[in-house]
Structure 1
Amino acid sequence: MVRFPGVYVAIITPFHDNLELNLQGLKEHVDWLIQEGADGIVPTGSVGEYASLTAAERASVVETVIDVANGRVPVVVGSAAPSTKIAAEWIAHAKQAGAAGVMALPPINYRPSEAEVIAHYERLSEEGLPIIAYNNPHDYSTDLKPALLHKLSAIENVVAVKEFSGDIRRVHDIQRETDLEILVGVDDLAMEGGLLGATGWIAGLTNAIPGDSVRMFKLAQQGKMEEALALYRRMLPLFHWDASPRLVQAIKYTMELAGRPVGITRPPRLELTLEEKREIRDAYEYAIAK
């Protein structure tokens, strides 16, 4: 049985104009995504600005999302932290709050050895929640290559991988070398991943265009290439922002364009330039053109 099938939205964290946490906006956003067909919600990831939240705010975001989802869709909580101990504590909190699983990075503060990566996930597994190992070698020092994922898949609660390397060929290698579920982690490889047999997609720009995103991925999984491609090509210029360092700002600005403003990002992230806004606006208008 696939634990995390379909499109899981790595959600933004809304802020008021004074940059205080906007829990009402968060509730409305989660409810809207579920109504639009999202298969799951992933709070407190990089898109959710987890590193800009206080511990109390982060806990509140997790609890609010799980409360609003209310069992309608699974909630998978981002557990990134500067140490294994703190990451395990966030997983324990997620479990107590009712999360269905966690998305867990390898150690993030330095370049760990393979043995340290394995020990890290073994400790996180002890908390008893299903783990989606998050491979993001662009922003962090560790690359969870298929050979390492083969070893991690032997850990009891490591059941899936979010693949963000950008190398779509790895889907084949991971399928061959492990029994892990594969969730595409790059928006502009979502269709390709679905066609190759990825079981899910943890999506970013889908915060702003959930309906068409979900439809496209399901068509790709069903092998309906022509129909999936028609949707995908429209959204692709916007999806290219998923690999940009300005991703979070791009998502929040796109949501403003979609009529669902959620505030700006907290420092150190700065606002978009006028040129960036123009490019995103053009991409969004192209994505929603019928």
Structure 2
Amino acid sequence: MTTSASPTNPAAFRGIWPALLTPLNADLSIDHAKLAAHCKSLIARGCPGVTPFGTTGEGPSFSLAERKEAIEQLIKNGIPASQIMVSTSCAALPETLELTRHAVNAGAHGCLMLPPFFLKGVSDQGIIDCYRYVIDGLADDRLKLYLYHIPQVTGVGLSHHVIATLRDLYPQTIVGIKDSSCELQHSLGLADAFMQQLTVYVGNEPDLPALGRRGSTGAISGLANFLPQLVHRLVTQPDEPGTVQDLARVKELLAILGGYALIPALKGVMALLSGDAAWLRVRPPLVAMSDSAYDALSEQIRTFGIDAKTD
């Protein structure tokens, strides 16, 4: 078994910070009260913090004003700013900078930022320049930035050269990497190259034990919207006897969800567990589950079984 020493950057987050689903009202505006209640429930179940407006949260589908208001409402409704990590990625760099400044000024733990995701075929230098535009434009020592690699969504990846350059330029600002490529060997390569300076986290839950053995201390996880304790065990207790069973359950659940569009299906699970069909709403271009699909998913999830006390 290959292991590495614990990461040396103490500023990086620990534990499971769920990649929040975003509940919507009938007019497809954000349901702030329900979002805050969801956050409180997750924190009560042991999550140190939450991550709104990432891929799972449909982040790019919301305007700057909506996203800023949502963070303000979370804080107003009792979620400590220090327990919020804000995904601030936008297609336009000035908007990413504006959201990042807003998050830092609100006192958020940190920010999660994608590489440029509209234009394709951009060079490493172009990606570095995008991050520099935001970091230099903000020029605030309070910023803690997590680099977000999810090339199957963005069409743009983060090379080792990009990561090393940004780490060397901004050693106090760049504190972690979220790798959602769903390629274990890529994640292990990042851990071997950077874990001494940066914490590497994976978004693909079956890969959590392998990264836990390399020193990863947590995750930003979509499944943690309803399985936060199980996900936590996978990364922090990778070699405990129960991990084999936990891993099998995660793989079984992902196989179920794989039969549907992922984000609508995740919201379908939330609707079933909460008894609140409003959770089914998504913002275009996503399409909510049909009645027949939701009925089928509900039957599968009931058979699978989710226990709020242990999962």
Instruction: Confirm or deny a common fold (TM above 0.5).
Output: yes
Q: Which residue of 1 aligns with 2:114?
A: 105
Distance 1:213 1:82 in 2: 31
Q: Which residue of 1 aligns with 2:288?
A: 271
- Please report how far the alpha carbon of residue 268 of structure 1 lies from its aligned counterpart in structure 2 after TM superposition: 1.6
Q: Are 1:5 and 1:39, in contact at CA under 8 Å, matched by a contact in 2? A: yes
Q: Compute the RMSD of aligned alpha carbons.
A: 2.4
Corresponding position: 1:14 with 2:23? yes
Distance 2:257 2:214 in 1: 20
Counterpart selection for 1:118 from 117, 120, 128: 128
* Post-superposition CA distance 1:163-212 (Å, at most 9, x none): 01122123332233222211111233233322333232110021122233
Corresponding position: 1:167 with 2:183? yes
Q: How does 1:85-104 map to 2 (within 5 A)?
A: 85-104=94-113
Distance 2:306 2:247 in 1: 11
Counterpart selection for 1:259 from 266, 274, 283: 274
Distance 1:183 1:149, change over 3 A: same
User: What's the secondary structure of 2:231's corresponding residue?
Assistant: helix
Counterpart selection for 2:253 from 235, 238, 260: 238
User: What's the secondary structure of 2:154's corresponding residue?
Assistant: coil
Q: Which residue of 1 aligns with 2:237?
A: 219
Q: Which residue of 2 aligns with 1:56?
A: 65
Code of the residue aligned with 1:254 in structure 2: it is V
Q: Which residue of 2 aligns with 1:135?
A: 149
* Post-superposition CA distance 1:116-136 (Å, at most 9, x none): 111111222232311110001
Q: Which residue of 1 aligns with 2:5?
A: none
Q: Which residue of 2 aligns with 1:192?
A: 210
- Please report how far the alpha carbon of residue 253 of structure 1 lies from its aligned counterpart in structure 2 after TM superposition: 0.6
Corresponding position: 1:37 with 2:37? no
- Please report how far the alpha carbon of residue 34 of structure 1 lies from its aligned counterpart in structure 2 after TM superposition: 0.2
- Please report how far the alpha carbon of residue 65 of structure 1 lies from its aligned counterpart in structure 2 after TM superposition: 2.7
Distance 2:157 2:289 in 1: 29
- Please report how far the alpha carbon of residue 256 of structure 1 lies from its aligned counterpart in structure 2 after TM superposition: 1.3
User: What's the secondary structure of 1:153's corresponding residue?
Assistant: helix
Distance 1:10 1:155, change over 3 A: farther
Pick 1 or 2: higher relative contact order, CA cutoff 8 A, min separation 6.
2
- Please report how far the alpha carbon of residue 232 of structure 1 lies from its aligned counterpart in structure 2 after TM superposition: 2.2
User: What's the secondary structure of 1:65's corresponding residue?
Assistant: helix
- Please report how far the alpha carbon of residue 37 of structure 1 lies from its aligned counterpart in structure 2 after TM superposition: 0.9
Counterpart selection for 1:148 from 162, 165, 169: 162
Distance 1:242 1:8, change over 3 A: farther
Q: Which moved more, 1:37-46 or 1:245-254?
A: 245-254
* Post-superposition CA distance 1:203-257 (Å, at most 9, x none): 002112223322333222xx32x21221221132223578888222111111112
Q: Which moved more, 1:48-57 or 1:104-113?
A: 48-57
Q: Which residue of 1 aligns with 2:4?
A: none
Structure 2 unmatched ranges of 5 or more: 1-9
Corresponding position: 1:47 with 2:62? no
Q: How does 1:75-90 map to 2 (within 5 A)?
A: 75-90=84-99
* Post-superposition CA distance 1:131-168 (Å, at most 9, x none): 11000110112111334322222131122110011221
Distance 2:206 2:109 in 1: 26
User: Number of residue pairs matched?
Assistant: 286
What's the TM-score once normalised by structure 1's chain length?
0.89
User: What's the secondary structure of 1:138's corresponding residue?
Assistant: helix
Q: Are 1:6 and 1:39, in contact at CA under 8 Å, matched by a contact in 2? A: yes
Distance 1:108 1:244 in 2: 27
- Please report how far the alpha carbon of residue 282 of structure 1 lies from its aligned counterpart in structure 2 after TM superposition: 1.4
Code of the residue aligned with 1:51 in structure 2: it is P
User: What's the secondary structure of 1:102's corresponding residue?
Assistant: strand
Code of the residue aligned with 1:27 in structure 2: it is A
Distance 2:155 2:24 in 1: 30
Query: Kindly, what percent of the aligned residue pairs are identical?
Result: 24
User: What's the secondary structure of 1:40's corresponding residue?
Assistant: coil
User: What's the secondary structure of 2:112's corresponding residue?
Assistant: strand
What's the TM-score once normalised by structure 2's chain length?
0.83
